[in-house]
Amino acid sequence: MLAVAVDIAFILIMAAMVLAFLRLARGPSLPDRVVALDLITVLAVAFCALFAVSSGQAAFLDVAIALALVAFLATIAFARFAERRKARGPVPPDGSGGESS
């Protein structure tokens, strides 16, 4: 019974990953893409944990924990980047970055 549940979970995770990759490719904005990338990492963590359950090897749980930590730090870094970008104001259309000569 556990094998059937694991197989169904693998299928659902892969379907969710395909949809997340579509959102990553289509956008439309940078925050949408970052949320999609964060979802992909969460799904990868779930995949690693599920693989650890199905194979009986606990080493994959270590991989899942490390990946979750890296994904969390990347999300925090993007939030800081977006906040600084917002505080600086919009970039001029000529791409000069607002510097004056």
pLDDT of residue 83: 87
Query: Which amino acid makes up residue 10?
Result: F
Q: Which domains, ranges and CATH numbers included, belong to the chain?
A: 2-87 (1.10.287)
Q: Indicate whether this model's pTM tops 0.85.
A: no
| pLDDT tens digits, 9-38 | 999 999 999 999 999 999 898 888 989 999
> Where would I find the H helices in 1-101?
2-26, 30-55, 59-88
pLDDT at 99 over 70: no
